[in-house]
Structure formats: C-alpha cells, structure tokens
Amino acid sequence: MESLRGALFLFVGATFLLAPFCDAGHAILHELERQQRSTRSTIDYSCDDQAYYDQFASNKRALCDESLANATTELRASKSQCLQKLQKLVSQQQEKLTTCSQARSTNAASCSAKLAALSLQIGQCQAKCSAATVTLKLVKLSTGSYYISPSSEQKNWHMADQFCKSNGLELASVETIMENDALVAAFGPSTDRFWISGTDLGSEKKFYWSGVGKTMETFWYFEDGQPDNANNNENCVQYVKETNKPTYKWNDENCNTPFRFVCELEATK
C-alpha cells in the first residue's frame, strides 16, 4: 500500500515536473513536422517544374518538327511548281522551234517552187533561142547576113517584124546601094514582093528604118511615083518589081497585106 501510494505520488510528481518538458517536446515535433512538410512541398514543386520544362521542351520540339514538316512541304510544292514551270518553258520552246522550222520549210518550199518556175522559163527561153538559131537558115551576103522568106512563107508587115524579132533579127534596113544590089541579086528571077523595115507609121511621109531606128535620109530608092500613100493607107515599105521596070525598087504598101519579107542580122545587137 505504502509502495502504491509512493508510486502514485511519484507519477503525479513526475507529471508536474515533466509537464514543461513535454510542451517543449511537442513544439519541436511540430517544427520538425512543418519543416518536413515544407521540404516535401519544395520537392513536389521542383518535380512539377521539371515536368513543366519537359512539356515545354516537348512542345517546342513538336513545333519545330511541324515547322520543318511545313517547310519541307512548301519546298516540295515550290519544287514541283518550279518543275512545272520548267516543263512549260521547255514545251513552249519546243513549240516555237517547231513553228520556226515549219516556217523555214514553207519558205524553202516556196523558194524551190519559184526557182523551179524560173528554171523552166530559162529552159523555154534557151529552147526558143537555140530553135531560132537552128531553124532559120541565113543567107550570107557581102553586106551582112539575111533571112529571105520563101514564097510559101508570107506575113503582113507587123507579123513579119515580130517573126524577125523572135528569131533575134530585124526586118532589113537597106541603107546603101551595095546592100540594095546584094539583096536584089539574092531575090534572083522572082517577081514576089518583100517587106523591109522602112515605115512612116509614126508620122506620114517621114520614113525611117524601124530595124535600126534611123531616118531614111542617106539612101532613097523608091520606084517612080512612090511613096504615094494610096487610099491614104500605105505606111510600110517593100521591094516591088513592076512588070515594065528593069529592077526591084521600093513601094509603100498597106501594112496588113501578107508578102514575103527579109530579116537582117544587125551586128550591133
């Protein structure tokens, strides 16, 4: 009992004695707990920050990737546009080239056609020229070379003039007595009439040699009573041998009547 009492007493005494110590212990405990909480929250905050930065970095990376992807897409698009443009340019160039070469070949064709036509003309001209020199057989007299048409070949003065010209000759111009005598001798015993180049077609009574473009001044050999411009319609000169006359002389006659004729090769041509 004594000891129980003593123990109780001890307990109460100890409680009283230790009370302040207990309060202090509580305070320390509280402080520790607060510190621990604070530390924990600091650690928690630090972790969130890391996550935030991770997220931030990840977002940034994603944005970067997207930009890269966008840039790549744009680059691809612009490359394809560029290629299309190039293709277009190339095809345009090709088209131009084709047009050009077509125009060139058309020109060349038209040139060849013209050339062929010209060659043909030259050929025809040469054929005419050689035919002329081959077909007409000239008579060589002391005063020059002449073509005296046969009795089967009679033309009016204009046609005879054309015939002589188309053969590189002119209707004969009888400018001297020697030329006259040579021609008359060549006519032989014929009594046919022969056109020569004398004419007054430009101005009545003003006779000239159309073959040489000279007036009939130095040598005048008309038959008596000629030129008479009969019927007011005789403008071309011919050789005539009147039945009662000894030799051929000149007469003016209607240009449109067909007769034989004399062409002369003019040395000046």
Ligand X SMILES: *[C@@H]1O[C@H](CO)[C@@H](O)[C@H](O)[C@H]1NC(C)=O
Give me the residues that bind ligand X (CB under 6 A), please. 63, 66-67, 70
Go through 167-191 and write b for each residue having 16 or more CB atoms within 10 A of its CB, e for each that does not.
bebbbbbbbeeebbbbbbeebeeee
Please identify, using beta-carbon distances, which residue of 62 and 90 lies nearer to ligand X: 62
Residue 176's φ and ψ, nearest 5 degrees, are -140, 160
Q: Is 235 in the site for Ca ion (CB under 5 A)?
A: yes
Return the closest-CA partner of residue 156 out of 201, 221, 223, 213: 201
- Contact between 139 and Ca ion by CB under 5 A: the answer reads no
Cβ nearer to Ca ion, comparing 124 with 229: 229
**Shortest distance in whole angstroms from residue 52 CB to ligand X:** 22
Distance in Å, CB of 33 to ligand X, minimum = 50
CB of 105 to ligand X, least distance (A): 52
19 or 63: whose CB is closer to ligand X? 63
Minimum gap (Å) between residue 63 Cβ and ligand X: 6
Interface pick for Ca ion out of 157, 238, 252, 262 (rule CB under 5 A): 252
Binding test (CB under 5 A) with Ca ion, winner from 156, 200, 208, 259: 200
Q: Segment near Ca ion (CB under 5 A), from 17-25, 89-97, 98-106, 244-252?
A: 244-252
Measured from the CB atom, the residue of 36 and 229 that comes closer to Ca ion is: 229
217 binds, among Ca ion, ligand X, none (CB under 5 to 8 A by kind): none
The distance of Cα 102 from the centroid of its chain, to the nearest Å, equals 10
- Comparison of 44 and 66: residue with beta carbon closer to ligand X: 66
Q: Which residues bind Ca ion (CB under 5 A)?
A: 173, 200, 226, 228-230, 234-235, 251-252
